[in-house]
Amino acid sequence: MIHRHWRLAALLLFVSFATAKAQFSTAITSDDVMRHIRILAQDEWQGRGSGTPGGAAAAAYLEEQLRAFGVAPASADGSYRHTFEFVSAARLGKGNRLAISAKGKSRSLRVNDDFRPLGFSASASFNGPVVFAGYGISLPDRGYDDYAGIDVKGKAVVIMRYSPWGDKPPMEFQASTSLRAKVLKAKEKGASAVVVIIGPADTDTDVPMKLSYDRQAGSADLPVISMRRALVEGWIGDPKQALKILQDSIMSSKQPRSFAFDQITLDLQTDVELVRAKADNVVGMLEGTDPKLNHEIIVIGAHYDHLGMGGEDSGSLRPDTLAPHNGADDNASGTAGVLELAHYFAEPSHRLKRTVYFLAFAGEEMGLLGSSAYVNAPSTPTSRMAAMVNMDMIGRLTDRKLIVYGVGTAAGLDSLVSSKNIDSTFVLKLNKDGFGPSDHSSFYTKKIPVLHFFTDLHGDYHRPSDDWQLINADGTRQVLDMVAEVMRALGDAPGRPVYVQAEMPRPMGGGDGRSSRVYTGTIPDFGEQSEGMKLAGVREGSPSAKAGLQAGDVIIKFGKVDIKNLYDYTYALGEYKVGDSVPVTVRRGDRTLTVTVTLERRN
């Protein structure tokens, strides 16, 4: 019985093998590109979300193709899979409870109906008095401070969403109106819990906010809930002080109206569970042909994950539309590129002298999670990696425009790339920076020269409409022809490219917005973080470099602000001005040291 089934399974596998192999030519062709893209971007795989069945189906397809093309498995366990874990969502634990006692009378409230913790709330408890702190914004140097004249130490603060200017405040207030910034400000002012309501001027609805998990930055240090404003209305009791009157007066006068509630105490317990999931990077390799060079590796990579069915926390630009975000360009095109190049270089006559690793990453849309997991636990030492070539969105070539990042990350990369623009096929836009919003960044943090190919953004970016019908398959084939030539130059050159810390113009800031006003030159490590903000590096000649900060340091305090994550750090920057000398405490290995960083202007 079993024997017969096994055979059938083998036959099926062989058929798919044969079909896979037979279906694709070893040459790089637009037909093959489109065939891979249509398979990867099919509705059935529901946008290839990391940790979802669609994502797993895509990983299985990649493994099957690599095996069919004769590419060897290259994960540490001898498989094609490099598995990593990540937080996929936040959910309510069983321990959420809230009781309010007003003028001696106590009342229990219902989770979900009356209140709900926010996704970044700590799982913690609070029992004590409550203060109304308006919008929870404190910018005295801008003439507005909800915390002026009130003491919130050890108390809970009730704050409204948005700002006295509604949800579109002036630039200099923008960074202070996010809920995270308000919670950090409340913490900084000594509050022990935060209650978020939405003002009657902003909406008629009055329901607790959805529990969502934003990836950027771990959880806050204190319990944070959203609550129906009607409950707070009940505490006020004085119709002249009704919330509508309060909010209207703050919005019209641009002056705060904060006060302590009389005889109101909260007894709060929050319980938020972070849901963990697993996803696979797919890893294959072709051994180099030259024994003197094949200990060195050229990495070719692309992320295969996308936004799944979309929704609020997915990064979709149509968050209201739950539908397959097919990601034909982002990034089925780059993934098809990895497969096409694997098939091409597997051909004996096309083999390179150096070894080639083919990497397809998951978790990119969640913050480069797959690639940073890979470089932090690689299946072979990163020191063997002579260069990394990344492709993310190469499917919509328009007006021959091709953008290549990273040409400043090793000597001669810019002329190498330009030299492979045969017959000026492309209008090349070269950018020196090795850091940017895709997986090459993770490799650059390990001091590996990188190149990143990109045919630019378009109107379907991060929307369900990023479909295969809009793909310029022949344009992608042309990009891959060029990438293949660049890889050949890197793979067969006598010497490996020499890493350079790309000298970069200071990133541009917006107007004199809060957090973008000052410049420190730190480069955050986007991998999963523990307590503090880990540095992937510091920019050459920057204030941080001058202060002696270095890659691997974990910033735990910036001036007066405790730093738990990237978000706290961005927030802390907003608290200081150009020219300020700020004590910065870092963990370096098992030591803790404090240096002084003198802030400079961001150009």
With contacts defined by CB under 5 A, name the span among 63-71, 331-339, 366-374, 582-590 that binds Zn ion.
Answer: 331-339
* Residue 331 CB, nearest approach to Zn ion (Å): 4
CA distance 54 to 49: 6
**CB neighbour class for 97 (10 Å; exposed up to 12, middle 13-18, buried from 19):** middle
Distances (CA, A) of 50 to 87, 279, 564, 583: 11, 6, 25, 39
The 8-class DSSP code of residue 574 comes to: T
Question: What does the buried/exposed string (b/e) look like for 556-592 if buried means 16 or more CB atoms within 10 Å of the residue's CB?
Answer: bbbbebbbbbbbbbbbbbbbbeeeeebebbbbeeeee
* Residue 14 CB, nearest approach to Zn ion (Å): 34
* 280 vs 466, beta carbon nearer Zn ion: 466
* 330 vs 467, beta carbon nearer Zn ion: 330
* 439 vs 528, beta carbon nearer Zn ion: 439
* Contact between 268 and 100 (Cβ < 8 Å): no
**CB neighbour class for 296 (10 Å; exposed up to 12, middle 13-18, buried from 19):** buried
* 219 vs 455, beta carbon nearer Zn ion: 455
Q: Which of residues 5-44 bind Zn ion (CB under 5 A)?
A: none
With contacts defined by CB under 5 A, name the span among 39-47, 324-332, 453-461, 472-480 that binds Zn ion.
Answer: 324-332
* Residue 267 CB, nearest approach to Zn ion (Å): 46
Q: What is the DSSP string of 11-53?
A: HHHHHHHHHHHHHS-SS--HHHHHHHHHHHT-GGGGGG-TTSH
**CB neighbour class for 137 (10 Å; exposed up to 12, middle 13-18, buried from 19):** buried
The 8-class DSSP code of residue 312 comes to: G
* Residue 461 CB, nearest approach to Zn ion (Å): 9
Write the interaction track for Zn ion spanning residues 383-422; mark x where CB under 5 A is met and - where it is not. ---------x------------------------------
* 138 vs 331, beta carbon nearer Zn ion: 331
CA distance 297 to 383: 9
State the amino acid at position 513 in one-letter form.
G
With contacts defined by CB under 5 A, name the span among 53-61, 327-335, 452-460, 562-570 that binds Zn ion.
Answer: 327-335
305 in contact with Zn ion (CB under 5 A): no
* Residue 228 CB, nearest approach to Zn ion (Å): 39
Cα R_g (the chain), whole angstroms: 27
Question: What does the buried/exposed string (b/e) look like for 327-350 if buried means 16 or more CB atoms within 10 Å of the residue's CB?
Answer: bbbbbbbbbbbbbbbbbbbbeeeb
Dihedral class, residue 78 (left if φ above 0, else alpha if ψ from -120 to 50, else beta): left
Tally the C-alpha atoms within 13 A of residue 124's C-alpha that lie toward its C-beta: 17
* 49 vs 208, beta carbon nearer Zn ion: 49
* 114 vs 392, beta carbon nearer Zn ion: 392
331 in contact with Zn ion (CB under 5 A): yes
* 330 vs 340, beta carbon nearer Zn ion: 330
* 306 vs 496, beta carbon nearer Zn ion: 306
* 31 vs 313, beta carbon nearer Zn ion: 313
* 331 vs 542, beta carbon nearer Zn ion: 331
* Residue 462 CB, nearest approach to Zn ion (Å): 9
Tell me how many degrees the CA angle 430-433-439 measures, rounded to the nearest 5: 105
Helix (H, G, I), strand (E, B) or coil at 272: strand
* Residue 332 CB, nearest approach to Zn ion (Å): 10
* Residue 82 CB, nearest approach to Zn ion (Å): 19
Beta-bridge partners for 267? 99, 127
Q: How many residues bind Zn ion (CB under 5 A)?
A: 3
* Residue 152 CB, nearest approach to Zn ion (Å): 42
* Residue 453 CB, nearest approach to Zn ion (Å): 12
* Residue 473 CB, nearest approach to Zn ion (Å): 18
Backbone φ and ψ for 87, nearest 5 degrees, come out as: -85, 120
Write the interaction track for Zn ion spanning residues 479-518; mark x where CB under 5 A is met and - where it is not. ----------------------------------------
* Residue 393 CB, nearest approach to Zn ion (Å): 6
138 in contact with Zn ion (CB under 5 A): no
330 in contact with Zn ion (CB under 5 A): yes
Sign, CA dihedral 259-260-263-267, equals positive
* 392 vs 528, beta carbon nearer Zn ion: 392
Helix (H) or strand (E) holding 402: strand 401-405
* 328 vs 572, beta carbon nearer Zn ion: 328
Helix (H, G, I), strand (E, B) or coil at 454: strand
* Contact between 416 and 486 (Cβ < 8 Å): yes
CA 540 to chain CA centroid, nearest Å: 24
Write the interaction track for Zn ion spanning residues 344-383; mark x where CB under 5 A is met and - where it is not. ----------------------------------------
* Residue 362 CB, nearest approach to Zn ion (Å): 12
Distances (CA, A) of 156 to 110, 128, 223: 19, 7, 9
* Residue 306 CB, nearest approach to Zn ion (Å): 7
Backbone φ and ψ for 533, nearest 5 degrees, come out as: -115, 115
* 271 vs 305, beta carbon nearer Zn ion: 305
With contacts defined by CB under 5 A, name the span among 57-65, 276-284, 329-337, 399-407 that binds Zn ion.
Answer: 329-337
CA distance 244 to 242: 6
441 in contact with Zn ion (CB under 5 A): no
* 331 vs 520, beta carbon nearer Zn ion: 331
The 8-class DSSP code of residue 210 comes to: P
* Residue 325 CB, nearest approach to Zn ion (Å): 11
Q: Return residues touching Zn ion (CB under 5 A).
A: 330-331, 392
